Structure 1
Protein backbone atom coordinates (compact mmCIF):
# COMPACT_ATOMS: atom_id res chain seq x y z
CA UNK A 1 0.00 0.00 0.00
CA UNK A 2 1.15 3.55 -0.71
CA UNK A 3 0.59 6.31 1.85
CA UNK A 4 0.81 10.10 1.79
CA UNK A 5 0.62 12.67 4.56
CA UNK A 6 -1.15 16.01 4.08
CA UNK A 7 1.02 18.78 2.63
CA UNK A 8 2.40 20.57 5.67
CA UNK A 9 6.18 20.74 5.24
CA UNK A 10 7.36 24.13 3.93
CA UNK A 11 10.35 24.32 1.58
CA UNK A 12 11.24 26.41 -1.46
CA UNK A 13 8.05 28.47 -1.19
CA UNK A 14 5.72 25.44 -1.28
CA UNK A 15 4.16 22.89 1.03
CA UNK A 16 5.23 19.26 0.66
CA UNK A 17 3.94 15.78 1.52
CA UNK A 18 5.78 12.51 2.10
CA UNK A 19 4.87 9.55 -0.12
CA UNK A 20 5.83 6.06 1.11
CA UNK A 21 5.15 2.37 0.57
CA UNK A 22 4.88 -0.25 3.27
CA UNK A 23 5.58 -2.99 0.71
CA UNK A 24 8.74 -2.10 -1.21
CA UNK A 25 10.75 0.67 -2.81
CA UNK A 26 9.82 -0.85 -6.18
CA UNK A 27 6.14 -0.24 -5.43
CA UNK A 28 6.95 3.30 -4.32
CA UNK A 29 9.00 4.10 -7.44
CA UNK A 30 6.28 2.70 -9.73
CA UNK A 31 3.60 4.76 -7.98
CA UNK A 32 5.75 7.90 -8.11
CA UNK A 33 6.28 7.36 -11.83
CA UNK A 34 2.50 7.13 -12.38
CA UNK A 35 2.16 10.33 -10.37
CA UNK A 36 4.78 12.06 -12.50
CA UNK A 37 7.10 12.64 -9.55
CA UNK A 38 10.73 12.92 -10.65
CA UNK A 39 13.23 10.43 -9.24
CA UNK A 40 15.14 13.33 -7.68
CA UNK A 41 12.17 13.66 -5.29
CA UNK A 42 13.17 10.35 -3.65
CA UNK A 43 14.88 10.93 -0.30
CA UNK A 44 16.25 7.73 1.33
CA UNK A 45 12.86 6.04 1.96
CA UNK A 46 10.17 8.42 0.70
CA UNK A 47 9.29 10.88 -2.03
CA UNK A 48 8.75 14.53 -1.29
CA UNK A 49 5.79 15.65 -3.38
CA UNK A 50 4.46 19.20 -3.69
CA UNK A 51 0.95 20.07 -2.56
CA UNK A 52 -0.10 20.38 -6.22
CA UNK A 53 0.30 16.60 -6.62
CA UNK A 54 -1.43 15.61 -3.38
CA UNK A 55 -4.93 15.21 -4.89
CA UNK A 56 -3.54 13.15 -7.78
CA UNK A 57 -1.71 10.86 -5.34
CA UNK A 58 -4.97 10.24 -3.47
CA UNK A 59 -6.86 9.73 -6.74
CA UNK A 60 -4.28 7.13 -7.80
CA UNK A 61 -4.87 5.25 -4.56
CA UNK A 62 -2.51 6.59 -1.90
CA UNK A 63 -4.05 6.40 1.56
CA UNK A 64 -3.89 9.65 3.54
CA UNK A 65 -2.36 9.26 7.00
CA UNK A 66 -1.10 11.72 9.62
CA UNK A 67 2.58 12.65 9.36
CA UNK A 68 3.48 10.75 12.53
CA UNK A 69 2.11 7.58 10.91
CA UNK A 70 4.57 7.79 8.01
CA UNK A 71 7.61 6.91 10.13
CA UNK A 72 5.71 4.22 12.05
CA UNK A 73 4.66 2.53 8.80
CA UNK A 74 8.21 2.66 7.41
CA UNK A 75 9.63 1.14 10.60
CA UNK A 76 6.96 -1.57 10.64
CA UNK A 77 7.78 -2.52 7.06
CA UNK A 78 11.53 -2.49 7.70
CA UNK A 79 11.95 0.22 5.05
CA UNK A 80 13.06 3.15 7.23
CA UNK A 81 16.44 4.57 6.23
CA UNK A 82 17.41 7.24 8.78
CA UNK A 83 19.79 10.07 7.97
CA UNK A 84 23.43 9.33 8.71
CA UNK A 85 24.88 11.51 11.41
Structure 2
Protein backbone atom coordinates (compact mmCIF):
# COMPACT_ATOMS: atom_id res chain seq x y z
CA UNK A 1 0.00 0.00 0.00
CA UNK A 2 1.57 3.24 -1.10
CA UNK A 3 1.44 6.56 -2.85
CA UNK A 4 2.79 6.33 -6.39
CA UNK A 5 4.12 8.95 -8.78
CA UNK A 6 5.01 8.57 -12.46
CA UNK A 7 7.77 10.52 -14.22
CA UNK A 8 6.96 14.09 -15.26
CA UNK A 9 6.27 13.24 -18.92
CA UNK A 10 2.95 14.94 -19.55
CA UNK A 11 2.95 18.45 -21.08
CA UNK A 12 0.71 20.85 -19.23
CA UNK A 13 0.12 24.40 -18.13
CA UNK A 14 2.93 26.86 -17.51
CA UNK A 15 5.26 25.07 -19.95
CA UNK A 16 5.94 22.38 -17.34
CA UNK A 17 5.91 18.62 -17.50
CA UNK A 18 3.46 16.96 -15.14
CA UNK A 19 3.24 13.73 -13.16
CA UNK A 20 0.30 11.81 -11.74
CA UNK A 21 0.14 11.12 -8.02
CA UNK A 22 -2.10 8.21 -6.91
CA UNK A 23 -2.63 5.86 -4.00
CA UNK A 24 -3.09 2.13 -4.41
CA UNK A 25 -4.81 1.85 -1.02
CA UNK A 26 -7.12 4.82 -0.35
CA UNK A 27 -8.14 8.23 -1.58
CA UNK A 28 -7.76 9.47 2.01
CA UNK A 29 -4.09 8.46 1.97
CA UNK A 30 -3.69 10.29 -1.33
CA UNK A 31 -5.28 13.51 -0.04
CA UNK A 32 -3.13 13.41 3.12
CA UNK A 33 0.05 12.95 1.09
CA UNK A 34 -0.89 15.74 -1.33
CA UNK A 35 -1.51 18.06 1.62
CA UNK A 36 1.89 17.13 3.11
CA UNK A 37 3.44 17.86 -0.28
CA UNK A 38 1.67 21.23 -0.48
CA UNK A 39 -0.43 20.31 -3.52
CA UNK A 40 -3.80 22.12 -3.52
CA UNK A 41 -7.02 20.07 -3.56
CA UNK A 42 -7.96 21.71 -6.88
CA UNK A 43 -5.23 19.57 -8.51
CA UNK A 44 -7.28 16.42 -7.70
CA UNK A 45 -9.04 14.87 -10.70
CA UNK A 46 -11.34 11.87 -9.99
CA UNK A 47 -8.62 9.47 -8.75
CA UNK A 48 -5.29 11.28 -8.99
CA UNK A 49 -3.48 14.55 -8.53
CA UNK A 50 -1.72 16.27 -11.42
CA UNK A 51 1.57 17.58 -10.03
CA UNK A 52 4.22 19.68 -11.78
CA UNK A 53 7.76 18.51 -12.34
CA UNK A 54 8.87 21.01 -9.70
CA UNK A 55 7.50 18.78 -6.90
CA UNK A 56 8.53 15.36 -8.27
CA UNK A 57 11.79 14.99 -6.30
CA UNK A 58 10.16 16.22 -3.09
CA UNK A 59 7.31 13.72 -3.51
CA UNK A 60 9.83 10.89 -3.81
CA UNK A 61 11.81 12.21 -0.83
CA UNK A 62 8.60 12.23 1.24
CA UNK A 63 7.94 8.58 0.37
CA UNK A 64 6.08 8.42 -2.93
CA UNK A 65 7.13 5.38 -4.93
CA UNK A 66 8.47 6.38 -8.35
CA UNK A 67 7.02 4.01 -10.96
CA UNK A 68 6.58 4.01 -14.75
CA UNK A 69 3.24 5.39 -15.98
CA UNK A 70 1.95 1.98 -17.06
CA UNK A 71 2.63 0.50 -13.65
CA UNK A 72 0.90 3.44 -11.97
CA UNK A 73 -2.24 2.87 -14.04
CA UNK A 74 -2.10 -0.91 -13.56
CA UNK A 75 -1.82 -0.60 -9.79
CA UNK A 76 -4.53 2.07 -9.63
CA UNK A 77 -6.93 -0.19 -11.55
CA UNK A 78 -6.01 -3.22 -9.42
CA UNK A 79 -6.72 -1.21 -6.26
CA UNK A 80 -10.31 -0.58 -7.34
CA UNK A 81 -9.82 3.18 -6.98
CA UNK A 82 -9.72 3.98 -10.73
CA UNK A 83 -12.48 6.38 -11.80
CA UNK A 84 -12.71 6.80 -15.55
CA UNK A 85 -13.90 9.97 -17.24
CA UNK A 86 -17.33 9.56 -18.85
CA UNK A 87 -19.26 11.63 -21.34
CA UNK A 88 -22.15 13.57 -19.83
CA UNK A 89 -25.49 11.95 -20.60
CA UNK A 90 -24.08 8.52 -21.44
CA UNK A 91 -24.41 5.20 -19.74
CA UNK A 92 -20.97 5.51 -18.15
CA UNK A 93 -18.99 3.96 -20.98
CA UNK A 94 -15.40 5.04 -21.41
CA UNK A 95 -14.70 8.41 -22.98
CA UNK A 96 -11.17 7.57 -24.12
CA UNK A 97 -10.87 4.52 -26.40
CA UNK A 98 -7.19 4.10 -25.50
CA UNK A 99 -7.07 0.75 -23.71
CA UNK A 100 -3.91 1.56 -21.81
CA UNK A 101 -5.68 4.33 -19.89
CA UNK A 102 -2.52 6.43 -20.13
CA UNK A 103 -3.75 9.32 -22.24
CA UNK A 104 -6.78 9.98 -20.08
CA UNK A 105 -5.37 9.33 -16.64
Map Cα deviations across residues 21-57 of structure 1 (whole Å, 9 max, x no partner): 0010000000000000000000100000000000000
The Cα of 1:70 is off from its aligned counterpart by: 1.4
Which residue of 2 is the match for residue 81 of structure 1? 83
* Gapped regions of structure 2 (runs ≥ 5): 88-105
Map Cα deviations across residues 51-75 of structure 1 (whole Å, 9 max, x no partner): 0000000000000000111111111
Comparing both chains, which one has the higher relative contact order based on Cα–Cα distances under 8 Å and sequence gaps of 6 or more? 1
Say whether residues 1:16 and 2:26 are aligned partners.
no
Which residue of 2 is the match for residue 2 of structure 1? 3
Q: TM-score, normalised by structure 2?
A: 0.79
Instruction: Find 1:27's aligned residue among 26, 29, 35.
Output: 29
CA RMSD, 1 decimal? 0.6
Richer in strand (by share): 1
The Cα of 1:2 is off from its aligned counterpart by: 0.4
Q: Which runs of 4+ in 1 moved over 3 A?
A: none
Question: In structure 1, the residue corresponding to 2:83 is in which secondary structure?
Answer: coil
* Gapped regions of structure 1 (runs ≥ 5): none
How many equivalent residue pairs? 85
